[in-house]
Structures are given as C-alpha cells and as structure tokens.
Amino acid sequence: MSAKTIEEPARRIPLYGEYEVAVLGGGPAGIATAVAAARAGRRTLLIERYGFLGGMGTAAGVTNFCGLHANVYGKMHRVVQGIASELLSRIDRIGGLNAPHLVLGKIFAQAYDTAAYKIAADDLLTAHRVDILFHAFGAGALMGDERRINALLVETKAGRQAVRAEIFIDCSGDGDLAAWAGAPFEVGDHNGHMLYPSMMFRLNGIDPAKAGEAWRTIPQLMDEAIAKGTHAFPRKGAIVRPQKSGIEWRVNFTQLKRTDGSAINGLEPDDLTRGEIDGRRQAIQAFEFLRTVPGFEKSYIVDLPPQLGIRETRRVIGSYQLSGEDVLSCATFDDSIGVNGWPMEVHVAGDVIFKFPPIPDSRGFNELPYRMLVPEGIDNLLVAGRCASMTHDGQSAARVSGACFAMGEAAGLAAALALSGNTLLRDIAIDKLQQALKREGAFIGRDQAVPQGL
C-alpha cells in the first residue's frame, strides 16, 4: 500500500439507527449472534456487506458444514445444537441439506446448497425480528472514549452512515471492528504465516453412477497425473465431493499465494485482487484435470463464488486464546459456552495437515470458553467466529462453521444478559449465561449429557 496520504475533510453523516445490539457480519457467527440477541428481546441490527447471509459458507462457496459433529469415543454425535439446529431444519425443509458424510474415516461433515442456506438464514432472522442492513460495508468506528465504541460507520449506496448501539459484536471474520476500535490482535503463526485461502467452485453435469466414490480415487489420479507430467496442482488434500444432487460436486482444490510463496493476505486489497484472479485460473486448471476423471467428462463449472475463500486473518486477543493443545486434549473450561468437535486443519504451503484428538479413545471435542469472545481493552464489544481469541493452531480447528454458530449464540445471549444486568460484558454471571444457553437447546459440554443422534 502507498505511504502517501491525503486529508478527508470532517463531515456530518446520517445516523442510520440506534440499537441495543449491532452485529457486524452475517456468517455463521453473525447469524447465531443476531438471532440469540433478538430472541432475548434486544433490538438488534445485523450489518452485512453482501445482499445475503452465510459468510464464507455462501459468499465463498464452501457448501459444507464442519464442526457440527464430534467423534465421541468412536460414535458420532451432533454436538452443536441450539440456533444451528433451527437453521439446519430450515435448510432441510426446502430440500437443501445432505445427510452427514464421513471425512477421513473419523469425523462427519454435512453439505448444503448455498441458495437454500441463504433463504433459510433470511427466514430465521426475519422470524426473530432481527433488523438486517444488507449492502453496507463496515468502514470504521467512532469511539465514545478509548474503551467504548459509540458508533460503527458503514458505507452504503446512500453514502456513509452511522449505527449506534449499546453493545457491538464483531462477526466480520476479519476482526474489522475490533481493530478499528483499537483492540489488540494477531495475524498468522509466530512467523506471520496465515492459513492459505482457496477459491471454491462447483461442477455440474457429472454422471453419478460412473463417478461413484471418485473422492477416494481422485488423490491417486492426481499422483499419476503429476508422475506423467500432464498436470500440476497447487496443493495436496483436494476435496471433491457430491452435493445433494449427485450430478453436482463441490471442489476444494486450489491454494492462493503471493509471489514469495506466502499466503494471500485477506486484509490487503492488492493481495485479494491477485487471489481472485489466480483463484479462477487455478479453478480452470483443476477443472481441466477433473474432466479426465471417469464420470466427469461432460461436467462444467456451474458456480465460481462471489469471493475468494479466506480462512484466517486477524485473531482478536481476548482474556483467553483457545490453543491447538486445547483442541487435541479435548480441553474443559469452567466458563464453557459451547463445543468444537473439528480437528486442527492446517492449510500450509502445498498441503493440508489434519491433527485429531485421540480417536476413538477421547470424547473428541473441546469446550469453548466465554473468555475467547471478550476482547482486551474495549468494554462494549464481543468478537465471535473465526476472528475470536484463538492461537493460529486453535483457529485452524474452531474456525469452522459449527464452533462459529456456538460462539455466536453465546455472544448474542451474553449481550442480552449484560444489558439486563447493567454489567460489563466481561463481568456477566457465567452460570446465568450457561443456563440460558442450555434453555435454548445449546450443548455446552460441562455436566450436560452428549446429545444423541445426528
């Protein structure tokens, strides 16, 4: 970025609205946060830059929920419930949800249609009277004092506007609002290396009978293509799996890097521009290879999503950082507000490395402490989702949708509790939050029986 600057004159801007809770970002974390806060009776606004909800799940074409399930002593359970269950049943009702499928022989994931996700999420939020402001890009924070956000600035087609709220919840995935407010954050591992992004895409026109279980044979076909010198691939660990209709498959194949080999930085506009263009180029190269796979001969790219898939940018530092060790040891916390059953999934240069807790000898999930939602330094802000307080390793696991839904639901309820008790977010009674979560049908670990079924 250029070091040159120019001065913008001060100006008066319209106040869009005044709310009790304002949520920035409509991904899994933002959806659950907004519903939880509104259902607890709080006037809630969700602000989203796109014209639809779902975050990376729709905008980056992820089309697959991970982290809803855990492998508990060898048996699969759906451990993320609560608002996630309400969203899933709405997606299912309109025919957009697959049955869960096994990943790496150890854990379940569950695919969905992006159109169904968008419609179900609209329906869920409007049913709970969440006010939604689409096509509004959060662009800055006005501080009341150094510990309190007064207003969030948003850029819209009608120009710049301000949103005031008593409590703000940053579900932007990138910790945008937390950073503008001055909360501390980290980016990447000890060397600043972030998880690599990917450009997802979906193919249609596949012959399901002929393709069969091609996700098992594709890695070997890739090895053969490399040996023959016919194709080169940006990474190992390609995921090519069917959607609900077997003629359509999702492809998670690409990996986007800078010229120096490091990951594209999702906070840098020039990086993002390069990543989008290279991502589409890699998608075409992957498609050329996939058309050689039996059953894929007549396939075509039916969807390249609106944006490059970003796995990791800022991780806001809170009172506790969930670590990789917490994930692998299935850690327990007194202030647990939900659980994560997904393993570490580290997207390194050229590869994807999974690290599981001992399976089937462990309960297969870690608890998520409330403290990871409470940023240092700012009193009326919580952070939920992939930018919550985690180490680089911890985030590689708990960034997936399941844990983001769990964090969001807790953040929304915590905001409502702080407002009703007139307490700071960091001082709310954790036992009250835990009871409220259980009443709403969430599973938080602790003394609760593991939910049965999928």
Ligand X SMILES: Cc1cc2nc3c(=O)[nH]c(=O)nc-3n(C[C@H](O)[C@H](O)[C@H](O)COP(=O)(O)OP(=O)(O)OC[C@H]3O[C@@H](n4cnc5c(N)ncnc54)[C@H](O)[C@@H]3O)c2cc1C
Which residues contact ligand X by CB under 6 A? 24-30, 47-50, 55-57, 59-60, 62, 64-67, 109, 137-138, 171-174, 176, 197-198, 200, 252, 309-311, 385-386, 399-401, 404
CA 206 to chain centre: 29
Give how far the C-alpha of residue 162 lies from the chain's centroid of Cα atoms, to the nearest Å: 26
The CA distance from 373 to 383, in Å, is 5
Cα–Cα separations (whole angstroms), residue 321 to 171, 181, 317, 451: 17, 19, 7, 26
Q: Which residue, 27 or 295, is less far from ligand X as judged by CB?
A: 27
3-state secondary structure of 90: helix
Nearer to ligand X, 90 or 399 (CB): 399
Rank residues 24 and 107 by Cβ distance to ligand X and give the closer one.
Answer: 24
Amino acid at 1: M
Tell me the DSSP string of 161-218.
EEEEEEEEEE-SSS-HHHHHHT--EEESSTTSPPPPPB--EEEE---HHHHTTHHHHH
Looking at the Cβ atoms of 39 and 49, the one nearer to ligand X is 49
Could you tell me which of 364, 255, 350 has the C-alpha nearest to residue 310? 255
Give 57 or 295: the residue with its C-beta nearer to ligand X.
57
Shortest distance (Å) from residue 233 CB to ligand X:
15
**Contact present, 288 and 42 (Cβ < 8 Å):** no
Q: Residues near 259 by Cβ (< 8 Å), separated by ≥ 6? A: none
Q: Which is nearer to ligand X, 218 or 422 (CB)?
A: 218
Q: Which is nearer to ligand X, 37 or 404 (CB)?
A: 404
Kindly tell me which of 158 and 429 has the beta carbon lying closer to ligand X: 158
Q: Which helix H or strand E contains 286, and what residues bound it? A: helix 269-290
Pick between residue 56 and residue 70 the one whose CB is nearest to ligand X: 56
Question: CA 247, CA 21: separation in Å to the nearest integer?
Answer: 43
Tell me the closest approach of the beta carbon of residue 440 to ligand X, in angstroms: 19
Query: Rounded to an integer, what distance in angstroms lies between the CA atom of residue 78 and that of residue 80?
Result: 6
What is the DSSP code string of 369-412?
Answer: EGGGGSBSS-TTEEE-STTSSB-HHHHHHHTSHHHHHHHHHHHH
What minimum distance in Å lies between the beta carbon of 138 and ligand X? 3
Name the minimum Å distance from CB 149 to ligand X: 14
Taking the complex as a whole, how short is the minimal distance between the CB of residue 228 and ligand X, in angstroms?
Answer: 28
Distance CA 424, CA 379 (A): 6
Cβ of residue 423: shortest distance to ligand X, in angstroms? 26
CB of 187 to ligand X, least distance (A): 15
Residue with tokens 């960091």: 426
- Cα 54 from Cα 26, distance rounded (Å): 6
How near is the Cβ of 231 to ligand X at its closest, in Å? 21
CA distances, 183 to each of 134, 385, 388, 410 (Å): 26, 16, 12, 20
Q: How far is the CB of 144 from ligand X (least distance, A)?
A: 20
Tokens coding 95: 């025919």
301 or 446: CB nearest ligand X: 301
Nearest distance from residue 454's CB to ligand X, in Å?
16
Q: Which is nearer to ligand X, 23 or 222 (CB)?
A: 23
Least separation in angstroms between CB 52 and ligand X: 8
At 131, which helix (H) or strand (E)? strand 131-133
